[in-house]
Structure 1
Amino acid sequence: MADNGAGRPDGGFCQVCPTLLYRDARAAIALLQDAFGFTERAVYADDTGRVQHAELSYGTGMVLLGSAGGEGAYATAMRDAGPTGVYVVVADVDDHYRRARDHNVEILMEPTDQEYGSREYMARDGEGNVWSFGTYAPGAAG
């Protein structure tokens, strides 16, 4: 895959990217980096410092985010949206869980072995979005 500037570590690009809006996008970026291990790839802010668009990667995946309450079609469509859920594949669930717990993230489910072979835990960020982390890799050859 050719690099389209999305900053994925393998030089490719993500074809599906969860997109979240936060009342405090700067705090969300800090939490995603510090507690969940994401890497900031780009942050674009307006003249007031309000985050218009940010890209954070984790492995070969990426999440896009920005500040809630903006203008335009997407902001209008998302205005009354509730929290969303995002699933992230991690190599070591227990280590990842400890990192999140050590950053005082709300844990919704401790690391648990699932019937389908995955080990997973679930957490909620400061604005109500639910993040699931596990060893199940959707689409991977079984």
Structure 2
Amino acid sequence: MSDITNTTRPTVTPALLYQDARAAIAQLTTAFGFVQSALYESEDGTVLHAELVHGNGMVMLGSAGRGGPFAEAMSGAGPAGIYVVVEDVDAHCERARRQGAEILVPPADQAYGSRDYLARDLEGNLWTFGTYAPSGPEVAD
């Protein structure tokens, strides 16, 4: 069980490495509506760490190829699949499409009550945007 309860800060945050972290930040903000909340760079401009916020969720990312334990563990990893809750799936998809995002599955109603669509970012990660908001585990007081 988690030690953190009753917080608005995310307690699970995906972390991704990109060959071109600047292009990823540009796409995630312009096409998918994330807001950049932090950016740390090396002297040569390499993205060491960035935080992009969407609602009360966040994704952290950085430049691949910098070395270190995390980068070594991620080497050879396949694309990630990330789910993001949005209110208006159709408008969100249209924004992403206008910005050139690759839409794999257009907005559709799902049997479990969600409406969602599937997109791929510039480096192959899969992003599902939908109305289904998982409630998470029950936490005893």
Normalized against structure 1, the TM-score is what?
0.89
Q: Which amino acid aligns with 1:40?
A: Q
Q: Does 1:112 align with 2:108?
A: yes
Q: Which amino acid aligns with 1:122?
A: L
Provide the secondary structure at the position in 1 that maps to 2:60. Answer: strand
Q: Which amino acid aligns with 2:104?
A: L
Give per-residue Cα distances to partners, 1:1-33, cap 9 Å, x unaligned.
xxxxxxxxxx94221001110000000000000
CA distance in 2, matches of 1:74, 1:101: 32
CA distance in 2, matches of 1:139, 1:121: 20
CA distance in 1, matches of 2:93, 2:8: 28
Structure 1 position 59, deviation (Å): 0.4
Structure 1 position 84, deviation (Å): 0.5
Unpaired segments ≥5 residues, structure 2: 1-6, 137-141
1:75-90 equivalent positions in 2, closer than 5 A: 75-90=71-86
Structure 1 position 82, deviation (Å): 1.1
Match of 1:73 in 2: 69
Q: Does 1:46 align with 2:30?
A: no
Q: Which amino acid aligns with 2:28?
A: L
Give per-residue Cα distances to partners, 1:92-124, cap 9 Å, x unaligned.
000000000001110010000000000000000
CA distance in 2, matches of 1:97, 1:18: 21
CA distance in 1, matches of 2:40, 2:8: 21
Match of 1:133 in 2: 129
**In percent, how many aligned pairs have the same letter?**
59
> Cα RMSD over matched residues?
1.4
Q: Kindly tell me the number of residue pairs found equivalent between the two proteins.
A: 131
Match of 1:92 in 2: 88
Structure 1 position 71, deviation (Å): 1.6
CA distance in 1, matches of 2:114, 2:16: 26
Q: Which amino acid aligns with 1:53?
A: H
Structure 1 position 68, deviation (Å): 0.5
Provide the secondary structure at the position in 2 that maps to 1:109. Answer: strand
CA distance in 1, matches of 2:47, 2:105: 31
Q: Does 1:57 align with 2:72?
A: no
Match of 1:121 in 2: 117
Match of 2:3 in 1: none
CA distance in 2, matches of 1:67, 1:12: 28
Provide the secondary structure at the position in 1 that maps to 2:106. Answer: strand
The 4+ residue runs of structure 1 with deviation greater than 2 A are: none
Match of 2:11 in 1: 15
